Chains A and B, each alone.
Chain A
């Protein structure tokens, strides 16, 4: 009998471990969420309600030289965020404000929550965050704002607990631009597929949906595979996974003519699969010129669409410093760099500052950009 009980215990542990294995990704962030939710309840009582979202309440009494603006990225090892750091540091040098840029050790939502919480405890004056999963960091950002820390985000138009989200352009405009580029490259006819990093990446899904909407509206001879299911595949922020998934899609749809990928890991994986299989598929996507250069030069990646992360980093810091200085940011404001000279502000889940700063890179101009 005793033995049976022991065995049963081992079995139960086994089942527990497997259920963890099955959803390790979600499990990790979910538990983090509940943990931070708990804290939200305890501090939530003294929050001032609607005032939390009025930038005017965040004017700092300290001198400019004592401010610390912290930028939190998705993954500091990626070239993209290294380029962002250039803009952040440029801002720091120009203004004399203390800026730091940090990223989680792993590109997952739970680790990012930890980085944000650490910075809150260190008492920074402003947090500029590029969220991995906006939902997972809501509670942490709320805590930050309750402590009087300015919160500015980037690439998170649905983030609720932020004073301003900053975008280089609207997701719709960018998605449409991606589709226009793809349509042009593949001659406006044929099947195409869409890849995103995760279905939980808000911006990626917005781009993907906007691409499909644009195609339905303007390119009737094009067709999204799998009866129009968005997205066609997830790359899980891994080049190797992107490669394997792309190969599968190409096997299942040998007549595919176009492929788009919106995470920086997507296009190299897709392009590698396309070249290996020797197919004529146009690949259009988001990524950095240096990383994509071999594929752009060989013609597999026909167009890169992107924005300059250097400018995005600069703008986040600029917005945070304007709030700390008590300056008002309104429709049509000039934030001082090209593409952001006449910003529009859209109120949705948050107040979103939107520029007109999209870049198109092809074989012809790729050598003008070095990042």
Chain B
């Protein structure tokens, strides 16, 4: 049993994000009286599902290489292809296979990212910006994707819910979709891989210092390529989840989802320079931003001020984590000087 060390906790960005979350939820509760209602919590968890799966892509990319902005378009295109294929072969069995289709397409797209980034050592931001533009063009130009109904397996998945609650006071209900389990599963798998496998340690080592990682015996190229392939798979899962939750495939609604997710991940303490970032921070950052954007109407903030409010939260949250790493950096250099 580890000793509970409060001082150590104070050094973690995640702690401050957690404090902000608690403070904000109390404020929202005080102003609207609705925040801690069971149906509101379930609604919040529902809204959290897709962004938090996206957040995994952003986290893995930041920790190992740099920003990845292609995940919403990989999600859109692979979900589209999976749905089209499922409809074409008239498959009506389990939704599991539809996810597998999407994952395969997503991995191919992720492999394209990974191949260009590893082979030519281009910055990941530029490469993924380029590929997302290509995927978008393929989706809306070549395939002329339109809004469409889902194939049977996904429709069935969308109709089943994990949990249904009803608020005793207002009589309003809310249900949590099955996709919530998928999100939990993905977090558990990522946690295990990152913390208990050599590859997982390699992801962090690679982002911290590429040359040292190579000398320590990690196959830098393979790990980096693998990260982007995995990102493609995760994005594809998010894409299918989104369509399952809205019960329709909506091609134009994916694009633009990356910015708020990247902001959330950085808020949660992931360092843009690489090597640092935790799943805890990732989920807390996403929770904070989802909570804010989902509660502004409850609190009664006018529509035009809502974006201002979200911007302020992002900057305050980041300022705290930035200050954190700044002081950490100062202590480190001080130690170095003393040693010399």
Contacts and interface: CB of A to CB of B under 8 A. Distances in A.
B322 A254 contact: no
Contacts of B147: 77-79, 291
Contacts of A254: 170-172
Contacts of B145: 77
Given A77-B145, A231-B303, A14 B262 contact: no
Contacts of A240: 242, 245-246, 250, 253
A292 B173 CA distance: 23
Interface stretch (A62-70, A184-192, A245-253): A245-253
B43 interface: yes
B162 to A, nearest CB: 15
Contacts of A14: 266, 272, 318, 322
A324 B122 CA distance: 50
A78 to B, nearest CB: 8
Contacts, number: 143
A3 B330 CA distance: 9
A4 B325 CA distance: 11
Given A11-B322, A18-B318, A21-B260, A251 B40 contact: yes
B136 A105 contact: yes
A226 B253 contact: no
Contacts of B137: 105
A159 B250 CA distance: 30
Interface in B270-324: 271-273, 294-295, 297-298, 300, 302-304, 306-307, 310-311, 314-315, 318, 322
A106 B333 contact: no
A244 interface: yes
Contacts of B256: 24-25, 106, 108
A106 B252 contact: yes
Contacts of B34: 251-252
B259 A244 contact: no
A237 interface: yes
A20 B47 CA distance: 23
A243 B259 contact: no
A21 B141 contact: no
Contacts of A243: 246
A245 B43 CA distance: 11
Interface string A28-65: 00000000000000000000000000000000000000
A10 B66 CA distance: 12
Contacts of B302: 226, 229
B248 interface: yes
Interface string A251-281: 1101000000000000000001000111100
A226 B137 CA distance: 41
A247 B167 CA distance: 14
A115 B65 CA distance: 34
A7 interface: yes
B266 A248 contact: no
Interface string B52-89: 00000000000000000000000000000000000000
Nearest to A103: B140
Nearest to B141: A105
Contact of A251 (B255, B298, B325): B298
B307 A23 contact: yes
A14 B303 CA distance: 27
A215 to B, nearest CB: 19
B91 interface: no
A133 B159 CA distance: 37
B114 interface: no
A301 to B, nearest CB: 16
Nearest to B311: A22
Interface in A205-260: 226, 229, 231-234, 237-240, 243-245, 247-252, 254
Contact of B304 (A24, A199, A226): A199
A135 to B, nearest CB: 15
B311 A10 contact: no
A75 B32 CA distance: 37
A19 interface: yes
A329 interface: no
Contacts of B330: 4
A280 B168 CA distance: 18
B329 interface: yes
Interface centre among B170, B174, B246, B297 (most CB of A within 10 A): B297
B251 interface: yes
A17 interface: yes
Contacts of A22: 263, 307, 310-311, 314-315
Contacts of B170: 251, 254
B297 A77 contact: no
A335 interface: no
B175 interface: yes
Contacts of B43: 244, 247-248, 251
5 contacts: A105-B136, A229-B302, A234-B306, A237-B252, A277-B172
Q: Which 3 A-B pairs have the closest CB atoms?
A: A22-B311, A21-B259, A21-B263
